[in-house]
C-alpha cells in the first residue's frame, strides 16, 4: 500500500499494488500529484522504489522546463511517531 499523507496527518490519496517496484511507485506519485498538485517536499521511508519514483517525477519537471524539483527527505522510521 502506498499512502499520501499531508503534514497534518490527513490521507490525501492511496494506492494498493501487488508489487513495490519502480513502476508502482511512479504510478502512485503520478496519481497523487495529479489529484493534489506538485508538492515542494516529500518525506518517504528508505524504500528504493519510492526514491526512484520521485526521481522520475523530478525528471518530468525538468523535461517540461520547470526550474525547481521536489525535495525528498528519507527517514527510516516513517509513520512511527517521529516528526516530519
Q: Give per-residue pLDDT as tens, 10-59.
A: 888 888 878 778 888 888 888 898 898 888 888 888 888 888 999 999 99
The structure's pTM equals 0.74
Q: What pLDDT does 59 receive?
A: 92
Higher-confidence position of 47 and 78: 47
In a domain, 84, yes or no: no
How many structural domains is the chain composed of?
A: 1
In a domain, 81, yes or no: no
In a domain, 79, yes or no: no
Range of the domain at 34: 2-74
**Res. 77: pLDDT tops 70:** no
Distances from the Cα of 75 to the Cα of 15, 18, 34, 61, 65, angstroms: 21, 24, 25, 24, 29
Amino acid at each position: 500500500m502506498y499512502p499520501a499523507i499531508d503534514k497534518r496527518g490527513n490521507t490525501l490519496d492511496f494506492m494498493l499494488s501487488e508489487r513495490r517496484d519502480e513502476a508502482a511507485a511512479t504510478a502512485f506519485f503520478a496519481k497523487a500529484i495529479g489529484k493534489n498538485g506538485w508538492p515542494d517536499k516529500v518525506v518517504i521511508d528508505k524504500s528504493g522504489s519510492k526514491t526512484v519514483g520521485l526521481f522520475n517525477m523530478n525528471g518530468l519537471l525538468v523535461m517540461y522546463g520547470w526550474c525547481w524539483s521536489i525535495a525528498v527527505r528519507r527517514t527510516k522510521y516513517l509513520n512511527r511517531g517521529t516528526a516530519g
